[in-house]
Amino acid sequence: MTDGAKQTGRRRALLSVSDKTGVTEFAQQLAARGWEILSTGGTYRSIVDAGVPARQVSDVTGFPEMLDGRVKTLHPAIHGGILARREQAHLAQLDEHDIGTIDLVCVNLYPFRETVARGAAFDEVIENIDIGGPAMIRSAAKNHAGVLVLVDPADYALALQDEVSSADRQRLAAKAYRHTSEYDAAITAYLEGAADELPTALPERLTLNLTRAAQVRYGENPHQPGAIYRLGEARGPVLDAQVLSGKPMSFNNYADADAAWTLCQELAAQEAAVPDHAAVCVAVKHANPCGVALAPDVKVAWERARDADTLSVFGGVVAVSAPVTLEAAQAMRGTFLEVLIAPEVTPEAVAWLAEKKPDLRVLVAAQAQGVSVLDVRPLTGGFAVQERDTRPWDDLCPEVVTERQPTEQEWLDLRFAWATVKQARSNAVVLARAGVTVGLGAGAVSRIWAAERAVANAGERAQGAVLASEAFFPFDDVVRLAARAGVSAILQPGGAKRDPEVVAACNELGLSMVFTGSRHFRH
């Protein structure tokens, strides 16, 4: 039997939540306004223990919770009360079957993603797939003209108003469907073995769960609308950075800051064991590194990175791997920058930058969490998807293929240049010396043109420098250009048909050459 309800005019709310933030207070306020409250399981116990009068759903359906809680709300006494249109024909049918209307559904779902994230066993993960919850949410959202649907504690206050507008009802319904669609996407990804946290394969179907995280004035250009979106529940170092001072971030600021921070962190991890490389500074312009340096402290690292290319760094984005002190901040006087991102900025440095560089966006990077390893790029009508290129130096087996062996310093510089060229747009060539980039050529349609740009950028600083290329050499022209400029060692993937000719040219000219066996195209 059902509860024998008639349409008495008293409003009824159904509360059944996994996230119990604010639900007791919400139930108290509903009860104070004369609402009848239905509830289940842990939610029922929480609100009754707080002194709120409530009825269990099983009292309404006439059936107890079954199958270890798998079945409790899947019943006409619940879904009829939610789905009935508030018109005579539907209400008469409810009365005929002794079913009362339900005017508010407050539900959020079993913690499926959290269960996956903590590494639970498969059977436990499956038990955290909610069935009744999504059904109630979708039913209420479909009938939002007569039923308020709440999936977010932030919306509880809205439901306590005397009247909720049709626009707000529709907004809550859209939010509810987004909530269930994201939940279903997470389940799909898990079952396909490609959960956002760590995909093991590229599935046949890929769902991107995107939520707008920030609005920007426009995209790359003023005529393009733009916004910043979060993938699933991930937290990004730039996306969630703390903005200490400066203007709002732009679309291009986000892209460049993310590129700068990525390279900065890779180098910081790679160079952590080298005593004089305690600080990394990366300057980026249009998503390409334009000045990168290692040093004992941030001030010196900044000065070296700035001096690597004083023209390109103007208007650039800078990332550093260690706290920015007042002394380091003052060293940036005289150079216009768009963004500075660091793990920490001292209060004195923040105050000085806010006063002297009020437009500079000063960011403290957030800790990355749940970041997808997928790299997704748009195509007309679709997307190209791959795993990110995160292969570190320690995963390589570098092979010296020339008669001359690199010196100890050259090995350090080759490793540094390799990390840098990996983050530059192809075709890319990087010249480095003593832990500083002295010449970069990126985004060229010819490898020789990239090398020529890097050599020209370096000038006399090419003497004694090393050269890294993200892809192999089809000819020996880059070797001969590098030798004329004074380069002493070269790093490249190898694997070209003319490798023997390229190696022979190095031996002829007295250069060292190292093959990595791994290329790093970045289009």
Name all domains of the chain by residue range, CATH numbers in brackets. Answer: 12-191 (3.40.50.1380), 237-364 (3.40.140.20), 393-515 (3.40.140.20)
| Across 10-24, 340-354, 432-446, 462-476, least confident range | 10-24
8 A C-beta contact, residue 483 and residue 509: yes
Work out the average pLDDT over 62-73: 59
Q: Given its phi and psi angles, is residue 517 left (phi above 0), alpha (psi -120 to 50 degrees) or beta? A: left
- Percent of the chain whose predicted confidence (pLDDT) is above 70: 91
**Average pLDDT for the chain:** 87
Contacts of 208 (CB under 8 A, 6+ apart): 231, 376
Catalytic, 142? Answer yes
User: Whose CA is closest to 253, among 220, 231, 230?
Assistant: 220
Alpha-carbon gap, residue 154 to 514, rounded angstroms: 58
Q: Which two tokens stand for residue 323?
A: 């706290």
Give pTM, 2 decimals.
Answer: 0.73
Q: What is the pLDDT of residue 197?
A: 45
> Residue 64 — very low, low, confident or very high, per pLDDT cuts 50/70/90?
low
Contacts of 338 (CB under 8 A, 6+ apart): 253, 256, 315, 316, 317, 360, 361
Q: Which two tokens stand for residue 277?
A: 């490389």
Q: What is the pLDDT of residue 11?
A: 84
Q: What is the pLDDT of residue 65?
A: 63
User: For 22-48, how does the pLDDT look when each residue is reduced to its tens digit (9 = 90+)?
Assistant: 788 888 888 888 888 888 877 888 888
8 A C-beta contact, residue 14 and residue 132: no
> Residue 16 — very low, low, confident or very high, per pLDDT cuts 50/70/90?
confident
Above 70 in pLDDT, residue 201? no
Among the listed residues 20, 90, 175, 286, the single catalytic one is 286
Work out the average pLDDT over 228-244: 91
Catalytic, 97? Answer no
Above 60 in pLDDT, residue 494? yes
What are the b/e assignments for 131-159, b being 16+ CB within 10 Å?
Answer: ebbbbbbbbbbebbebbbbbbebebbebb
Above 60 in pLDDT, residue 338? yes
- Percent of the chain whose predicted confidence (pLDDT) is above 90: 50
**Number of other CB atoms surrounding residue 438 within 10 Å:** 27
> 55: helix, coil or strand?
strand
Our CA angle for 505, 508, 514, nearest 5°, is 55
Which phi and psi angles does 150 have, rounded to 5°?
A: -125, 125
Among the listed residues 20, 90, 142, 175, the single catalytic one is 142
Strand partners, 469: 429
Contacts of 262 (CB under 8 A, 6+ apart): 423
Q: What is the pLDDT of residue 439?
A: 95
- Burial class for 510, CB neighbours closer than 10 Å (0-12, 13-18, 19+): exposed
Gyration radius (Cα) of the chain, Å:
30
User: For 270-313, how does the pLDDT look when each residue is reduced to its tens digit (9 = 90+)?
Assistant: 988 888 888 999 999 999 999 999 999 999 999 999 999 999 99
